[in-house]
């Protein structure tokens, strides 16, 4: 279902989903060259930081944004077919994983251009991606439930994501805050971005990053399952 939706979205397009890759490549190039100079950062450090930050952020923000509409956009299916509600959440996750796979070409380009050799640390991207997917699943499920009942949730989430992107270490590096670098630790999105970015650049995420990411995963799933068990029978009526 996810693959067919992507094909339908890019029907009669010459490059199809690879337009996403070209857009990301142009964005990383423009921001990397401009902001790298403005901030006085070496390009071989700043451009990979921005590129991997955007790849991780596009997956996270995309899942959260579409997660708000995951049940509303499939109202016809839900009212007429007996399918588990989680099916539509998995569809959304799979779509964004496919889009991330296309954007991986930008990552390969960064490796070649800047001569980065990730080493064995790159293997940590597998558990990191698993943790991010698990969090995206419960977040989409919870936001989908809330948005089916309260239609103000999607624009609120969109507004929050626009702000959060600028306070998450994507366009900037925490060390640039100097003595206040610890302020970045209060942003939970920073942990998930770093969890994916660090291994792809040959670094090992800190134990604090893993611990907090896993803590958010556990708490998020407990809360979501409690709400889902109580309200899933009402979703068809809300739609």
Question: What size, in residues, is the chain?
Answer: 239
User: Which residue in 1, 75, 84, 45 sits closest to 174, CA to CA?
Assistant: 45
- Return the exposure string of 188-201: e unless at least 16 CB atoms fall within 10 Å of the residue's CB, then b: ebbbbbbbbbbbbb
Q: Cα separation of 46 and 39, whole Å?
A: 9
Domain of residue 227: give its range.
Answer: 2-238
Q: What number of H helices and E strands is found in the chain?
A: 10, 0
Residue 128 token pair: 């990191």
Give the DSSP letter of residue 202: T
pLDDT by residue, tens only, the chain of 239 residues: 767 776 676 666 666 667 777 888 888 888 888 888 877 788 888 889 999 999 999 999 999 999 999 988 888 888 887 888 888 999 999 989 988 888 888 888 888 888 888 888 889 999 999 999 999 999 999 999 999 889 899 999 999 999 998 888 888 887 776 666 666 677 889 899 999 999 999 889 889 889 999 999 999 999 999 999 898 888 888 87
Number of domains in the chain: 1
């Amino acid at each position: 279902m996810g693959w067919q939706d992507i094909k339908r979205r890019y029907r009669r397009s010459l490059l199809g989903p690879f337009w996403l890759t070209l857009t990301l490549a142009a964005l990383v190039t423009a921001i990397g060259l401009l902001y790298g100079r403005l901030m006085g950062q070496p390009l071989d450090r700043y451009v990979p930081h921005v590129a991997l930050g955007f790849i991780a952020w596009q997956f996270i923000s995309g899942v959260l944004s579409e997660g708000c509409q995951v049940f509303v956009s499939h109202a016809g299916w839900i009212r007429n077919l007996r399918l588990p509600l989680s099916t539509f959440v998995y569809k959304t996750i799979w779509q964004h994983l496919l889009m991330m796979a296309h954007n991986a070409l930008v990552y390969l380009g960064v490796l070649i251009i800047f001569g980065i050799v990730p080493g064995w640390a790159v293997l940590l991207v597998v558990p990191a991606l698993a943790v991010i997917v698990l969090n995206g699943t419960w977040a989409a499920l919870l936001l989908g439930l809330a948005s089916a009942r309260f239609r103000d949730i999607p624009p609120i989430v969109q507004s929050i994501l626009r702000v959060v992107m600028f306070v998450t270490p994507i366009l900037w590096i925490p060390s640039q805050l100097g003595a206040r670098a610890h302020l970045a630790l209060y942003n939970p999105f920073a942990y998930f971005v770093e969890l994916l970015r660090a291994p792809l650049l040959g670094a090992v995420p800190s134990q604090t990053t893993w611990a907090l990411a896993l803590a958010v995963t556990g708490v998020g799933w407990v809360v979501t399952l409690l709400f889902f068990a109580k309200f899933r029978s009402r979703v068809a009526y809300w739609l």
